[in-house]
């Protein structure tokens, strides 16, 4: 294996490692076969595993996720691709009503071990219906696990954990990170779901971020370091299970909290993180909490407009400066 691997290559590598290990892992989705996926995240899978394990589907999101569910209930571990996360709305019944509830409403009779992968988020100028960060949609529904890796190594390690999970996992691959590169992880690298990572240590403020907001938070932290403010950056990696113990431990060291979310402020996951801190960690705080989040508008097309709406390094820096002076 090469010395570096891109986030995009890591997706296919992560799936391939599991397909080699477990014959019940199969893939289905639009354009994932010979074409290798519209984002080239499934390149090579059809060639290695053949058409009986990598299935091109019609543009039928309900059939894709519904069929994945039926297969998962009967002995397979399907990995379904929904091309853009915006299109999760086209199969929302399965994500909101069917997959997360069937175990519960059957009294534990049925297990649904599937992964729904999807390309999430903005930054590429795709306009309002191909750019949303939608992890907060899934976050409203009990019964779904939610993974959103920020690095190639995490893509591979979390893909392994997601595919091996006996519970349904929605796996958000961030479009803005696809070209980023990192060291390839060793064989059998597994990152347990629900383990946040402290990706930068600092004593003055905790930045809690997810997916593409992790590099934004890290850049902001580097900039702030020049001003004498040391930020600790926590990459949540998963929204469910949510690792609040790492967040609370970090707050114990810093006493200041900023969440950095790409999704709109209204209904965003940062609100839940902040509310748990208020419930359980209020005494740890020496300042108000701040949420840097997307504006509550549809994503605009032009770069200048999109930047206005999505959190940027400058916006994070400004929020932290305000808190540091509190």
Partner 1 sequence: MDPAELLAAYEQMAVIRRTEKAAHDLFLQGLVKGTTHLAAGHEAIAVGASAALRPDDYVFATYRGHHHAMARGATPEECLAELMSRATGLCKAKGGSMHLTKAATGMLGSYAIVGAHLPMAAGAAWSARLRGTDQIAVAFFGDGATNIGAFHEALNLAAVWKLPVLFVCENNLYMEYTPIADVTAVPRPAADRAPAYGIPGEVVDGNDVVAVQEAVARLAGRARAGDGPALLEAETYRHFGHSRADPATYRPAEEVERWLKRDPLDLARGRLVEMGMPEAVVGEADDRATVAVRKAVEAAKAGPAPDPREALTDVWADGGAAWRT
Active site residues: 61, 130
- Say if residues 182 and 199 touch (Cβ distance below 8 Å): no
Query: Is 71 near partner 1 (CB under 8 A)?
Result: yes
Binding mask 23-52 for partner 1 (x = CB under 8 A): -x-x-------------------------x
Q: Which is nearer to partner 1, 57 or 259 (CB)?
A: 57
Which distant-in-sequence residues (6+ apart) come within 8 Å of 240 by Cβ?
139, 144, 145, 146, 194
The binder of partner 1 chosen from 41, 42, 57, 254 (CB under 8 A): 57
The binder of partner 1 chosen from 2, 108, 282, 304 (CB under 8 A): 108
The binder of partner 1 chosen from 2, 3, 58, 226 (CB under 8 A): 58
Which distant-in-sequence residues (6+ apart) come within 8 Å of 32 by Cβ?
42, 45, 46, 54, 55, 56, 81
Which secondary structure element, helix H or strand E, spans residue 143, and what is its range? Answer: none
Listed ranges 209-217, 218-226, 240-248, 303-311: which one lies at the site for partner 1 (CB under 8 A)? 240-248
Which distant-in-sequence residues (6+ apart) come within 8 Å of 314 by Cβ?
none
- In a 10 Å sphere around its CB, with 0-12 CB exposed, 13-18 middle and 19+ buried, how is residue 52 labelled? exposed
Query: Is 242 near partner 1 (CB under 8 A)?
Result: yes
What residues does 173 pair with on adjacent strands? Answer: 119
The binder of partner 1 chosen from 110, 285, 287, 324 (CB under 8 A): 110
Binding mask 182-221 for partner 1 (x = CB under 8 A): ------------xx--------------------------
Phi-psi region of 96 (alpha: psi -120 to 50; beta: other; left: phi over 0): alpha
Report whether the peptide linkage leading into residue 241 is cis, meaning its omega lies within 30 degrees of zero. yes
Site for partner 1 in 285-314 (CB under 8 A): none
Query: Is 245 near partner 1 (CB under 8 A)?
Result: yes
Phi-psi region of 107 (alpha: psi -120 to 50; beta: other; left: phi over 0): left
Query: Is 98 near partner 1 (CB under 8 A)?
Result: yes
Q: Which is nearer to partner 1, 182 or 267 (CB)?
A: 267
Q: In what order do the strands lie in the sheet with 197-200?
A: 197-200, 231-235, 205-209, 257-264, 290-294
The binder of partner 1 chosen from 97, 140, 266, 275 (CB under 8 A): 97
Interface residue list for partner 1 (CB under 8 A): 24, 26, 52, 55, 57-58, 60, 62-63, 65-76, 78, 93-94, 97-98, 100, 102-111, 113, 142-143, 165-167, 194-195, 240-245, 276
């Amino acid at each position: 294996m090469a010395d570096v691997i891109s986030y995009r290559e890591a997706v296919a590598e992560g799936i391939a490692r599991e397909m080699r290990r477990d014959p019940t892992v199969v893939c289905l989705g639009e354009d994932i076969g010979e074409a290798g996926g519209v984002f080239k995240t499934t390149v090579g899978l059809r060639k290695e595993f053949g058409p009986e394990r990598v299935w091109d589907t019609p543009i039928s999101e309900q059939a894709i996720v519904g069929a994945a569910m039926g297969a998962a209930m009967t002995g397979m571990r399907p990995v379904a691709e929904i091309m853009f996360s915006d299109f999760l709305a086209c199969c929302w019944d399965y994500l909101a009503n069917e997959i997360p509830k069937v175990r519960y409403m059957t009294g534990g009779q049925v297990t649904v071990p599937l992964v729904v992968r999807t390309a999430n988020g903005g930054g590429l100028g795709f306009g309002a219906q191909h750019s949303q960060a939608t992890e907060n949609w899934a976050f409203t529904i009990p019964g779904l696990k939610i993974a959103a890796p920020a690095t190639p190594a995490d893509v591979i390690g979390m893909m392994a954990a997601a595919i091996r999970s006996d519970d349904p996992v929605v796996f958000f691959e961030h479009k803005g990170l696809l070209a980023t590169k990192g060291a390839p992880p060793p064989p059998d690298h597994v990152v347990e779901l629900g383990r946040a990572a402290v990706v930068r240590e600092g004593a003055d403020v905790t930045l809690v971020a997810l997916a593409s907001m992790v590099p934004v938070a890290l850049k902001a932290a580097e900039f702030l370091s020049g001003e004498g403010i040391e930020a600790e950056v926590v990459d949540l990696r998963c929204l469910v299970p949510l690792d609040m113990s790492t967040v609370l431990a970090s707050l114990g060291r810093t006493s200041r909290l900023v969440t950095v979310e790409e999704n709109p402020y209204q209904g965003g996951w940062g609100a839940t993180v902040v509310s748990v801190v208020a419930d359980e960690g209020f005494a740890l705080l020496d300042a108000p909490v701040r949420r840097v989040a997307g504006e509550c508008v549809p994503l605009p097309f032009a770069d200048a407009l999109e930047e206005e709406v999505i959190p940027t390094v400058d916006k994070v820096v400004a929020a932290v400066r305000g808190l540091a002076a509190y």
